[in-house]
């Protein structure tokens, strides 16, 4: 049944091709997209189930044995992320028709969307470093297409910066892969890990590791590489922002997690120690950014950065609790970030502006949106019993166990500021007198609200129902702490 | 020879970066082209140079150059080509909409 | 027990439905039964033979986070306060809040709070406690912002949330530290491992973090500033959350963790000192207020300080007094808040300057206020419960043992004087409150409404509370053995005997003498109030902690905007420069510190031929020329030279497929660049400053050198054979092709190729889209 592994990549890819042909008939396209997305979600669930019952599933594409051919590795970490991706994708697809203009839809939005999902899934699954580069390009190319969709002035302006920065880091990526090949003679991740371990990450290897870290760090938007992120993320349609916010940076951080738990784990006093510092700075600068603006979309966009900080903090500390925390936080953040992007999209739509200073008393007109935002703010800030809390608690425990007190305090402080930055929208935009100068005629249709509510429900479940989720996450952390398991499952020696 | 090519790659990277840091879109795009050339040279060199014959099986030949980097470069060339094309069109459209090809004039307002 | 805690929360879900019928039946009537039921459920535990009860319900057992409810004397006291006062407050609110208000919201928040507060005082699991703790902050936030159309309400709500959540997060930090050190999430088990905690290096940090949580919640100096602004909430809320229950959560927390910290002298120093300072500052500031609720808010701050100080003393007598005062404070302060609400309701103002002479019109309210204020002032009358607890407080201050620590021993000497000093102001503001509102000249023309006595329904709750004041006053030992002693025992975690409270301590009792001093000086100060009120111009004068908070919030906004706008300029060049600088600097540092270049060798290299050098030379020239050319056609052609140079190199290095591909791609690219040639403007001269071009040059060269050096080092690392042997061996055998590169592309790494094509496809569609949008726009 190892062929299951490729389904999460192939289904969206084929779906993207199919909907390209129905493009001009938008009703059919919509229906097909929903259908195919749900199929993809169900398949993701099936694969997840079988990975969690039978263990890692390896697919040697074209039957070329590892480490020579391209290997797809569906282990618990990657499959859980794929499941999360599909959940978010489903929400996005149901939201999309209500948010996009007809023109945007017929400019192959759905094709690009499916390709993005295919690229993201591929990046999670692949066990080959160059193949990871290819999937990065797939998802980036799809993101370039999505970000310019509609093509207005501001969009184009931010897009070109976005493309250029990503292009630069892609080229650095391919160079780093080449350098690694030059040093250890392979591009299969398991074999690289084995070989790096054999020479104890000697000589140039740590330098190459750092280069790779910068490549992934740029995608993940870590301090000080995140400058490109906040603005380009807010120019496209909210559904695109949500996909970006939830998926793109997370692929970067996933890659860091994978590479720095599997391959480069022999000079942790340098690499991982630095991660902790980077984590602290990302948290601080991220929330500072979020507090600096009155643009509600930008507030959410900036909030991506501290979240990434939380995740890298766990990778830096690298013990059982901290890693579990990182993974929990990663999944939590994918879901809540997409919900928040969709939500501020609705707010900006009904209020007719994304400028907070021009909003007041929205709760009189849109109570449901207001309360969804209220809950989201607490979820995001990691207030119990929601999902963010479990991740944060584990991270804090991990940090304290490792005697990393400074980062503990920074993490707590930034939680407060994260809460403040989002609660600001609620207090200033939703509370207050009824604004009689404007007539709020735009309706927030159910099509817009339900996907958000659905995502929030998942978030609440991840917190309240942590007992159903945490043991699996704990298992993943244990597994990551012992790279040999991955190596053995791929190389079967 | 390998080190000479690596130095060449370094120079390509350097000129690429210099061009990337310019203001005019065309120069920047040229920068990205140079960047990909540099990267491809690095890949090629990592497979060692001039060791044996082209990687096309022939009974008379025992030594072949490393075929893997070549395959990787091929993939990379095609991808770079795709991105460059997109970038060109994007640049042209951006310049047109924003009425400037100077990227420093495309900063945007703080609360836009 | 879980039902008792969660029922309000669950039933809160139905309130929106019930409130639909609010015009027929006031929603509060339904809600009333919830706290009443809980009160009746718990009251049966009262008794001399009470022993703690524990109920555990699993929640997240794999993280040791469970609903581990533990009911000891301390929890019981709080549970009864929460449900008892809760019942009275809900009853009061039925008359206070008109049916036109958003009753649904109000009662949902209130019930949410009730659950949360019960959870706080019953949870033995620290993280469950924390969860409920934050929920109290959230519900308090919503209740303060209940009338959110008012600017002050929003301000107060945000302030209380920021300060209490700040404290909550600090506390979380402390709890995590405790959990990691002791390996348990149960407070009881932590108390059993007190030695480990006391020997931990983190002890000071833990203490600070936990106390920050407690002090912010219980409005201790200087975090007290949120409480006066919380008075924007409807009065039932002020009576309930901001005087009787929620603000005592901090007290509860300190009491709960007392057995852990009591042996640590900094606990005594910090808690007593902050408590006493809060006591003095609160009572001093209360005299200055003009809003009835403002006086009560500062009075609450001051009383909380007093309780906190007693916990800090840590002696058996002090703890006993503290617990007794928690109960007493809830009774008299609750009734006073309700009376203040009545005055507001019936006269339309709470401004004491506009009030006066109300006693004749509102005799019942007046009488209730009389008992409340006199009890609060600690007037030595045997039917006022406040007198006893104040007496016990004074007694406790005089019996502090002197320790070796200089600061601690100084503090224990100073405490009795400070206590008297603070209590004098307590006396003053109590008198000021009562006499200011109820006696003196009538100023009814200043009022919006014609004042009259409140309806009986509104009076019942404060009457019940004042009866409590009197009953405890008359029979101070009534609750002693059944409730108070158990609570004190719960705090100290050891057996203690019930204290017998005397009506009369005798003139030679130090505590009584202190009371007399307080009353004596208090009367003088009260009567001469106008003469010395100028002192407030000196202290605090224009200084205020509110201003510090406001400045801080403003600073946070300005500071973040300042920082962020300084680098988030939207300039690609700046972004690239920072990213490049980081990559170059860090990578070089790592390269040198980890011995990245140690393996470099010059063996095993391919030979150099003239033709190679010639090609390389031309390419270098062309690459450099791209920088200096100012003609776009020339630039495109020069770039083409580099590209064709690459394909020649591919030929030289035996990569025929690559050479061909590169040639084709390069040609198409040239064609594409013609597009740019037509549509992009001519190149301008690079008129940049020397610094700019110097920075650019440094970054460019840095990156170039970095790539070359790592390349050389990677090339020199000949540890392993590459995996390529395998491709040569199997290309024909398994792949059926002679051209190995082709076999790799279409078979061995077919997935790469498939998605490489996908990339091209997406690019094509995207380009198509970009151009089509333009066409559409032109058409419009």
Strands A57-60 and A71-74: antiparallel
C:548-607 residues touching chain B, CB 8 A cutoff? 561, 565, 569-573, 576-577, 580, 602, 605-607
Q: Find all residues with CB under 8 Å of C379, minimum gap 6, and list them.
A: C386, C387, C427, C519
CA distances from C431 to C438, C465, C526, C622 (A): 10, 20, 7, 93
DSSP class of C248: G
Short-list C150, C115, C97, CA closest to C34: C115
| pLDDT band, residue C543 (cuts 50/70/90) | confident
| pLDDT band, residue C167 (cuts 50/70/90) | very high
- Helix (H, G, I), strand (E, B), or coil: what is residue A273? helix
Question: pLDDT value at position C569?
Answer: 82
Q: Are residues C16 and C84 in the same domain?
A: yes
The answer to whether A69 touches C743, Cβ cutoff 8 Å, is: no
Domain end marker among C511, C533, C555: C533
Structure tokens at A332: 């939590």
Residue linked to tokens 């995608």 = A219
The answer to whether C265 touches C312, Cβ cutoff 8 Å, is: no
Query: Is C199 part of a structural domain of the chain?
Result: yes
Asked whether residue B43 carries a pLDDT value surpassing 70, the answer given is yes
d(CA C163, CA A416): 10
- Helix (H, G, I), strand (E, B), or coil: what is residue C65? strand
C-beta atoms of B90 and A156 within 8 A: yes
Of C62, C759, C773, which has the smallest distance from its Cβ to A471's Cβ? C62
Q: Which residues pair with A57 in a beta bridge?
A: A74
Q: Are residues C523 and C554 in the same domain?
A: no
CA angle (A259 as vertex; A258, A263 as ends), nearest 5: 120
Q: Are residues C238 and C297 in the same domain?
A: no
Q: Are residues C179 and C320 in the same domain?
A: no
C-beta atoms of C708 and B84 within 8 A: no
Query: Is C232 part of a structural domain of the chain?
Result: yes
The answer to whether C511 touches C395, Cβ cutoff 8 Å, is: yes
How many contiguous H segments (helices) and E segments (strands) does chain C have? 33, 2
Asked whether residue A493 carries a pLDDT value surpassing 60, the answer given is no
Question: pLDDT value at position A4?
Answer: 87
Backbone angles phi and psi of A71, in degrees to 5:
-110, 135
Asked whether residue C346 carries a pLDDT value surpassing 70, the answer given is yes
Query: Is B38 part of a structural domain of the chain?
Result: yes
Helices C249-261 and C73-96 sit at what angle, rounded to 10 degrees? 170
Query: Is B45 part of a structural domain of the chain?
Result: yes
d(CA C711, CA C705): 10
C-beta atoms of B75 and A130 within 8 A: yes
Question: pLDDT value at position C556?
Answer: 87
Query: Is B112 part of a structural domain of the chain?
Result: no
How many domains is chain C partitioned into structurally?
Answer: 4
Question: pLDDT value at position A12?
Answer: 95
List CB contacts (< 8 A) between B57 and chain C.
728, 731-732, 737-740
Average pLDDT on C612-620 reads 93
Asked whether residue B111 carries a pLDDT value surpassing 50, the answer given is no
Residue linked to tokens 């203490």 = C207
List CB contacts (< 8 A) between B101 and chain A.
none
The answer to whether C246 touches C217, Cβ cutoff 8 Å, is: yes
Residue A320 is inside which H or E element, if any? helix A320-351
Q: Which residues pair with A128 in a beta bridge?
A: A188
Residue range(s) defining the domain that contains residue C741: 720-780
Query: Is C111 part of a structural domain of the chain?
Result: yes
Average pLDDT on A217-245 reads 91
Query: Is B108 part of a structural domain of the chain?
Result: no
Q: Are residues C503 and C400 in the same domain?
A: yes
Question: Would you tell me how many other CB atoms lie within 10 Å of the CB of residue A27?
Answer: 9
Question: Where does residue C571 fall: left (phi above 0), alpha (psi -120 to 50 degrees), or beta otherwise?
Answer: beta
Asked whether residue C508 carries a pLDDT value surpassing 80, the answer given is no
d(CA C423, CA A15): 77
pTM of the model: 0.94
Q: C375: buried, middle or exposed (CB in 10 Å: 19+, 13-18, 0-12)?
A: buried
Torsion angle, CA of A431/A436/A437/A438, rounded to 10 degrees? Answer: 70
Of B80, B82, B94, which has the smallest distance from its Cβ to A156's Cβ? B94
The answer to whether C767 touches B89, Cβ cutoff 8 Å, is: yes
d(CA C471, CA C474): 5
Question: pLDDT value at position C124?
Answer: 94
* Model confidence pLDDT, tens digit, residues B48-100: 887 788 888 888 888 888 999 999 999 999 999 999 999 999 998 888 888 88
Task: Calculate Rg over the CA atoms of chain A.
Answer: 21
Question: pLDDT value at position C402?
Answer: 61
What's the whole-number average pLDDT of chain A? 93
Q: Which residues pair with C609 in a beta bridge?
A: none
Of A122, A130, A231, which has the smallest distance from its Cβ to C570's Cβ? A231
| pLDDT band, residue C777 (cuts 50/70/90) | low
The answer to whether residue C187 neighbours chain A at the CB level (below 8 Å) is no
Q: Are residues C282 and C151 in the same domain?
A: no
Average pLDDT on C528-546 reads 80
Dihedral sign computed on CA atoms, order A445, C9, A455, A391: positive
* Model confidence pLDDT, tens digit, residues A258-272: 999 999 999 998 899
d(CA A477, CA A315): 10
CA distances from A409 to A396, A458, A486 (A): 9, 29, 34
Domain end marker among C237, C261, C285: C261
Residue linked to tokens 């609720």 = C293
The answer to whether residue C766 neighbours chain A at the CB level (below 8 Å) is yes
| pLDDT band, residue C779 (cuts 50/70/90) | low
CA distances from C432 to A276, C42, C47, C426 (A): 57, 38, 39, 10
- Helix (H, G, I), strand (E, B), or coil: what is residue C291? strand
Q: A319: buried, middle or exposed (CB in 10 Å: 19+, 13-18, 0-12)?
A: middle
Q: Are residues C2 and C71 in the same domain?
A: yes
Highest mean pLDDT among A21-30, A389-398, C661-670: A389-398
C-beta atoms of B74 and C731 within 8 A: no
Asked whether residue C21 carries a pLDDT value surpassing 90, the answer given is no
Asked whether residue C676 carries a pLDDT value surpassing 80, the answer given is no
3-state secondary structure A286-316: HHHHHHCCCEHHHHHHHCHHHHHHHHHHHHH
List CB contacts (< 8 A) between A174 and chain B.
39, 43, 72, 76
List CB contacts (< 8 A) between B75 and chain C.
745, 749, 752-753, 756
Asked whether residue A1 carries a pLDDT value surpassing 60, the answer given is no
Query: Is C127 part of a structural domain of the chain?
Result: yes
Backbone angles phi and psi of C136, in degrees to 5:
-65, -40
Asked whether residue C698 carries a pLDDT value surpassing 90, the answer given is yes
Question: pLDDT value at position C512?
Answer: 84
Structure tokens at C414: 């100073």
Query: Is C54 part of a structural domain of the chain?
Result: yes
Query: Is C291 part of a structural domain of the chain?
Result: yes
| pLDDT > 90 fraction of chain A, expressed in percent and rounded | 81
Dihedral sign computed on CA atoms, order A323, A324, A325, A330: positive
| pLDDT band, residue C185 (cuts 50/70/90) | very high
* Model confidence pLDDT, tens digit, residues C470-481: 998 888 888 877
Q: Are residues C250 and C214 in the same domain?
A: yes
Find the residue in A nearest to C770 (Cα): A151
Structure tokens at B100: 């400037």
C-beta atoms of B52 and C654 within 8 A: yes
| pLDDT band, residue A167 (cuts 50/70/90) | very high
Dihedral sign computed on CA atoms, order C469, C474, C480, C483: negative
Query: Is C335 part of a structural domain of the chain?
Result: yes
| pLDDT band, residue A418 (cuts 50/70/90) | very high
d(CA C391, CA C164): 32
Question: pLDDT value at position B108?
Answer: 74
How many domains is chain B partitioned into structurally?
Answer: 1
Residue range(s) defining the domain that contains residue B51: 2-55+63-103
Q: Are residues C363 and C378 in the same domain?
A: yes
d(CA C644, CA C298): 82
Asked whether residue C597 carries a pLDDT value surpassing 80, the answer given is yes
Question: Where does residue A491 fall: left (phi above 0), alpha (psi -120 to 50 degrees), or beta otherwise?
Answer: alpha
Asked whether residue C468 carries a pLDDT value surpassing 50, the answer given is yes
Backbone angles phi and psi of C58, in degrees to 5:
-75, 140
Alpha-carbon gap: B91 to the closest alpha carbon of chain A (Å) = 7
Of B11, B22, B107, which has the smallest distance from its Cβ to C569's Cβ? B107
Q: Are residues C233 and C273 in the same domain?
A: no
d(CA A185, CA A193): 12
| pLDDT band, residue C780 (cuts 50/70/90) | low
Lowest mean pLDDT among A355-369, C161-175, C311-325, C502-516: C502-516
Query: Is B33 part of a structural domain of the chain?
Result: yes
Q: Are residues C448 and C547 in the same domain?
A: no
CATH for B29: 1.10.287.3510
ipTM: 0.95
The answer to whether A340 touches A421, Cβ cutoff 8 Å, is: no
Find the residue in B nearest to C660 (Cα): B74
Structure tokens at C583: 């990559």
* Model confidence pLDDT, tens digit, residues A41-98: 999 999 999 999 998 999 988 888 888 999 999 999 999 999 999 999 999 999 999 9
Count contacts between B and C (CB, < 8 Å).
273
Residue linked to tokens 């007719």 = A352
Domain end marker among C261, C278, C301: C261
Of B6, B48, B83, which has the smallest distance from its Cβ to C708's Cβ? B6
Alpha-carbon gap: C156 to the closest alpha carbon of chain B (Å) = 27
The answer to whether C245 touches C118, Cβ cutoff 8 Å, is: no
The answer to whether residue C674 neighbours chain B at the CB level (below 8 Å) is no
Average pLDDT on C330-356 reads 90
Query: Is C89 part of a structural domain of the chain?
Result: yes
Alpha-carbon gap: A326 to the closest alpha carbon of chain B (Å) = 32
Question: pLDDT value at position C505?
Answer: 66
């Amino acid at each position: 049944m190892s062929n299951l592994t490729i389904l999460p990549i192939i289904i969206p890819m084929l779906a993207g091709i199919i909907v390209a042909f129905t493009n001009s008939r938008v009703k059919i396209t919509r229906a097909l997209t929903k259908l195919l997305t749900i199929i993809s979600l169900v398949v993701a669930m099936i694969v997840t189930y079988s990975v969690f019952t039978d263990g890692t599933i390896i697919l040697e594409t074209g039957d070329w044995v590892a480490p020579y051919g391209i290997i797809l590795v569906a282990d618990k970490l990657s499959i859980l992320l794929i499941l999360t991706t599909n959940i978010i994708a489903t929400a996005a697809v149901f939201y999309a028709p209500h948010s996009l203009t007809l023109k945007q839809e017929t400019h192959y939005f759905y094709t690009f969307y499916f390709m993005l999902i295919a690229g993201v899934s591929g990046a999670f699954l692949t066990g080959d470093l160059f193949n990871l580069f290819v999937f990065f390009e797939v998802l980036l190319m799809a993101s370039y297409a999505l970000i310019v969709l509609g093509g207005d002035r501001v969009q184009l302006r931010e897009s070109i910066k976005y493309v250029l920065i990503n292009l630069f880091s892609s080229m650095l990526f391919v160079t780093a892969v080449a350098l690694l090949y030059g040093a250890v003679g392979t591009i299969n991740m398991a074999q690289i890990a084995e070989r790096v371990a054999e020479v104890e990450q000697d000589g140039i290897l740590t330098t190459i590791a750092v280069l790779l870290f910068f490549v992934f760090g740029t995608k993940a938007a870590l301090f000080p590489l995140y400058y490109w992120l906040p603005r380009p993320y807010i120019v496209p349609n909210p559904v695109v922002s949500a996909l970006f916010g939830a998926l793109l940076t997370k692929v970067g951080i996933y890659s860091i997690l994978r590479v720095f738990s599997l391959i480069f784990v022999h000079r942790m006093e340098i690499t991982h120690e630095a991660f902790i510092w980077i984590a602290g700075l990302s948290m601080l600068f991220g929330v500072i950014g979020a507090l600096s603006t009155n643009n509600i979309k930008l507030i959410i966009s900036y909030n991506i950065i501290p979240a990434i900080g939380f995740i890298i903090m766990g990778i830096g500390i690298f013990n059982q609790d901290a890693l579990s925390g990182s993974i929990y936080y990663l999944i939590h953040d994918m879901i809540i970030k997409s919900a928040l992007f969709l939500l501020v999209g609705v707010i900006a739509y009904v209020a007719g502006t994304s400028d907070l200073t021009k909003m007041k008393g929205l709760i009189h007109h849109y109570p449901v949106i207001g309360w969804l935002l209220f809950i989201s703010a607490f979820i995001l800030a990691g207030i119990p019993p929601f999902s963010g809390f479990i991740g944060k608690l584990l991270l804090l425990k991990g940090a304290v166990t490792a005697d990393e007190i400074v980062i503990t305090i920074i993490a707590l402080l930034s939680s407060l500021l994260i809460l403040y930055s989002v609660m600001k929208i609620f207090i200033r935009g939703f509370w207050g007198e009824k604004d009689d100068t404007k007539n709020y005629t735009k309706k927030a249709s159910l099509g817009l609200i339900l996907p958000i509510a659905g995502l929030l429900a998942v978030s609440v479940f991840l917190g309240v129902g942590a007992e159903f989720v945490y043991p699996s996450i704990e298992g993943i952390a244990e597994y990551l702490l012992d790279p040999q398991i991955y190596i053995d499952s791929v190389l079967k020696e | 020879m390998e080190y000479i090519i690596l130095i060449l790659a370094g120079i390509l990277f350097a000129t690429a970066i210099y061009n990337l840091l310019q203001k005019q879109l065309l120069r920047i795009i040229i920068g990205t082209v140079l960047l990909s050339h540099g990267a491809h040279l690095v890949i090629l060199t990592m497979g060692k140079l001039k060791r044996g014959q082209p990687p096309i099986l022939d009974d008379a030949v025992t030594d072949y150059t490393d075929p893997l980097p070549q395959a990787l470069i091929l993939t990379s060339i095609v991808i770079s080509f795709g991105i460059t094309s997109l970038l060109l069109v994007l640049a042209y459209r951006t310049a047109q909409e924003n009425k400037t090809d100077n990227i420093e004039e495309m900063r945007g307002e703080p609360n836009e | 027990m879980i039902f008792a805690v969660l029922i309000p929360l669950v039933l809160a879900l139905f309130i929106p439905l019930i409130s639909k019928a609010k015009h027929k039946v006031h929603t509060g009537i339904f809600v009333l039964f919830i706290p009443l039921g809980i009160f009746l459920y718990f009251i049966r535990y009262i008794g001399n033979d009470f022993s703690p009860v524990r109920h555990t319900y699993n929640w997240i057992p794999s993280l040791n986070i469970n609903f581990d409810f533990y009911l000891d004397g301390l929890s019981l006291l709080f549970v009864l306060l929460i449900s008892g006062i809760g019942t009275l407050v809900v009853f009061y609110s039925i008359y206070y809040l008109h049916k036109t208000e958003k009753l649904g919201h109000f009662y949902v928040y209130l019930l949410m709070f009730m659950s949360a507060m019960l959870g706080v005082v019953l949870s033995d699991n620290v993280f469950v406690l924390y969860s409920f703790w934050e929920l109290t902050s959230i519900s308090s936030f919503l209740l303060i912002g209940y009338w959110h159309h008012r600017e002050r309400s929003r301000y107060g709500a945000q302030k209380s949330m920021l300060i209490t959540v700040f404290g909550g997060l600090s506390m979380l930090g402390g709890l995590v530290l405790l959990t990691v050190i002791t390996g348990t999430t149960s407070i009881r088990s932590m108390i059993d491992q007190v030695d480990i905690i006391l020997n931990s290096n983190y002890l000071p940090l833990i203490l600070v973090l936990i106390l920050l949580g407690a002090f912010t919640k219980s409005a201790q100096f200087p975090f007290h500033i949120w409480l006066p602004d919380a008075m924007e909430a409807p009065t039932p809320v002020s009576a309930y959350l901001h005087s009787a229950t929620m603000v005592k959560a901090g007290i509860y927390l300190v009491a709960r963790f007392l057995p852990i910290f009591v042996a640590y002298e900094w606990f005594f120093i910090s808690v007593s000192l902050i408590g006493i300072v809060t006591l003095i500052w609160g009572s001093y500031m209360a005299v200055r207020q003009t809003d009835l609720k403002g006086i009560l808010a500062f009075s609450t701050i001051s009383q909380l300080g007093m309780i906190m100080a007693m916990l800090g003393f840590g002696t058996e007598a002090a703890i006993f007094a503290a617990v007794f005062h928690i109960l007493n404070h809830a009774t008299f302060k609750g009734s006073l808040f309700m009376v203040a609400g009545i005055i507001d309701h019936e006269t339309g103002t709470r401004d004491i300057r506009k009030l006066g002479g109300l006693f004749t019109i509102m005799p019942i309210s007046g009488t209730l206020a009389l008992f409340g204020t006199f009890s609060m002032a600690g007037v030595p009358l045997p039917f006022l419960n406040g007198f006893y607890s104040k007496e016990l407080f004074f007694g406790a201050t005089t019996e502090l043992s002197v320790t070796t620590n200089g600061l601690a021993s100084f503090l224990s000497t100073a405490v009795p004087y400070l206590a008297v000093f603070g209590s004098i102001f307590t006396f003053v503001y109590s008198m000021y409150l009562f006499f200011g509102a109820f006696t003196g000249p009538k100023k009814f023309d200043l009022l919006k409404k014609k004042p009259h006595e409140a309806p009986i329904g509104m009076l019942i709750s404060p009457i019940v509370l004042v009866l409590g004041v009197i009953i405890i006053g008359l029979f101070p030992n009534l609750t002693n053995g059944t409730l108070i002693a158990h609570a004190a025992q719960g705090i100290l975690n050891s057996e203690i005997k019930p204290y017998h409270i005397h009506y009369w301590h005798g003139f030679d009792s130090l505590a009584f003498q202190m009371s007399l001093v307080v009353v004596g000086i208090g009367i003088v100060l009260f009567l001469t109030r106008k003469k010395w009120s100028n002192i407030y111009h000196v202290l605090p004068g224009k200084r205020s902690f509110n201003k510090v908070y406001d400045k801080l919030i403003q600073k946070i906004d300005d500071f973040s905007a300042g920082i962020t706008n300084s680098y988030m300029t939207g300039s690609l060049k700046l972004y690239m420069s920072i990213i490049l600088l980081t990559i170059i600097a860090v990578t070089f540092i790592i390269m040198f510190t980890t011995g990245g270049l140690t393996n470099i060798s010059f063996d095993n290299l391919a030979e150099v031929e003239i033709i190679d050098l010639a090609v390389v030379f031309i390419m270098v020239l062309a690459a450099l020329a791209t920088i200096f050319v100012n003609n776009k056609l020339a630039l495109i052609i020069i770039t083409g030279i580099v590209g064709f140079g690459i394909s020649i190199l591919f030929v030289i290095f035996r990569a025929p497929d690559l050479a061909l591909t590169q040639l084709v791609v390069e040609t198409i690219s040239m064609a594409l660049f013609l597009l740019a040639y037509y549509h992009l403007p001519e190149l301008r001269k690079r008129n940049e400053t020397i610094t700019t071009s110097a920075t650019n040059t440094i970054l460019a060269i840095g990156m170039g050198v970095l790539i070359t050096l790592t390349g050389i080092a990677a090339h020199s690392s000949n540890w392993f054979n590459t995996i390529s042997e395998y491709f040569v061996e199997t290309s024909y055998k398994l792949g059926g092709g002679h051209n190995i590169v082709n076999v790799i592309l279409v078979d061995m790494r077919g997935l790469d190729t498939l998605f490489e094509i996908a990339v091209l496809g997406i690019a094509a569609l995207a380009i198509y889209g970009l151009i089509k949008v333009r066409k559409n726009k032109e058409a419009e």
